[in-house]
Amino acid sequence: MGSIVPVFTPLAVSEHDAVAVLLHRSLAGWYESKLGQGARFGDRPEPFRLIPEVYAALDPDEALAARAPDTGQLLGVCFVHPRPTHVSLGIVAVAPEAQGLGVARGLLTRALAEADARGVPTRLVSSLLNLDSFSLYTRHGFVPEEVYQDIVVPVPPDGLRLPPGLRAWTAEEQGPVGTGGGARRVRAAKPTDAARITAYERARRGIARPADHALFLANRVGDWRVWVAEDDRGTLTGYLVASVHPHHRAIGPGAVDDEATAEALLLTALDSYRGGSVLVLAPAAAAGLVALLYALGGRNVELHVAQSRPVPVPMASSASGSEADLASAAVPAGPAAALTAGTPATGSNDGSAEAWVRSRDSVRAADAAARVDASSGGEALPQIASRGFAFPTFLPESA
């Protein structure tokens, strides 16, 4: 397409068909050209329409579009999900003919501007096979955290054949709530569980996404199942969501106290896919859970990583003049300025030494600000060891 300056605008609901075509072309094209795996995404774009439909139901008017300035052709999309504790980024996808023109970078910087204006971190899950997108995110200050193994698990028509010594919990074995003795149970979640799930995840993982839980439990767009795990006193010990839609068969999101709870929830969820297969993004740190999925016939197809970007924090006035100026320049403008039509697709971190200083100092300052001394009356961040495990929401990502 030559050298162009994309125009960035909101994405319209009427463009969902065009978005489905773009997502299919972007994913199939990249995976075929780089890995010879384009066939993984099928030969039709129609199944991909579910993605913008779900995202629009979650966050109307939050998706960004990049367009050719002369024709308005859709060149790229980015789905932005503001939450009370953070901003989550969904798919960042670019048309094959527009790759290398700064489209993904332009979309990302505008999404980050919204997070910075809100004063919250930014979170995403991206492919570790796609080093183009991985590099884009880390250049913009994202820090890799948890690694997930994408494991496809086949489920026989008559149900799982569990390895020796392993049995799924039955209602009788789980026991009723309040019986004592450490009994636990898994049950289908109800809409009235939404607030409990949100509170549990915030306490366990430090994030709050009530809109997501409400959508899954209401089952308004797509086809979702939700389960919760409880201890003998009825205290929540985990939850798990599964999509059983024919165009999106995947397990997640979820959060659990430990591997035993994850195992119980996962075995319950897998039974929903009898006669087919399902994608599980299993936390790589949960070695026992990964071993179970292998024992059930699962195979790895990809790796993903959760990444987060802290809120840029202005440097103290005592900082040296040059670095203080650079630090203050690292805080982007608000979303209104970021969406100005015709703005060049430039990022806040272009790989230069100056950009490196901005990124380094911003991350250091944010990290220092987050480490609150409990003795000062602040709330200390939860330690990794106490956070349990999480299953991410999975909808294909590409840049």
User: Given this model, what pLDDT does residue 232 score?
Assistant: 86
Residue 308 has φ and ψ, to the nearest 5°, of -140, 150
User: Given this model, what pLDDT does residue 294 score?
Assistant: 94
Residue 13 has φ and ψ, to the nearest 5°, of -60, -30
User: Given this model, what pLDDT does residue 4 score?
Assistant: 75
**CATH assignment of the domain containing 282:** 3.40.630.90
- Name every residue whose Cβ is closer than 8 Å to that of residue 363 and which is 6 or more positions away in sequence: 141, 143, 310
Distances (CA, A) of 98 to 6, 66, 75, 259, 382: 10, 10, 6, 43, 42
Taking the C-alpha atoms of residue 299 and residue 150, their distance in angstroms, rounded to an integer, is: 8
Does one domain contain both 144 and 155?
Answer: no
- Of the candidates 203, 194, 399, 200, the one whose C-alpha atom is nearest the C-alpha of residue 307 is 399
Does one domain contain both 298 and 157?
Answer: yes
Tokens describing residue 308: 């987060």
- Of the candidates 309, 299, 306, the one whose C-alpha atom is nearest the C-alpha of residue 397 is 306
pLDDT in tens, 139-165: 999 999 999 999 999 999 999 887 666
pLDDT in tens, 353-371: 454 445 445 544 554 554 4
Is residue 398 in some structural domain?
A: no
Residue 396 has φ and ψ, to the nearest 5°, of -50, 140
Sign of CA dihedral 193, 229, 57, 85: positive
The residue segments making up the domain with residue 11 are: 7-148+308-376
Is residue 396 in some structural domain?
A: no
pLDDT in tens, 195-212: 999 999 999 999 999 999
Chain-centre distance of CA 169, in angstroms? 29
Distances (CA, A) of 312 to 113, 184, 365: 10, 43, 7
**CATH assignment of the domain containing 97:** 3.40.630.30
Q: Which of 54-63, 111-120, 155-164, 299-308 has the lowest mean pLDDT?
A: 155-164
Q: What is the mean pLDDT of residues 119-142?
A: 94
Does one domain contain both 154 and 292?
Answer: yes
Q: Has this prediction a pTM greater than 0.85?
A: no
Does one domain contain both 154 and 197?
Answer: yes
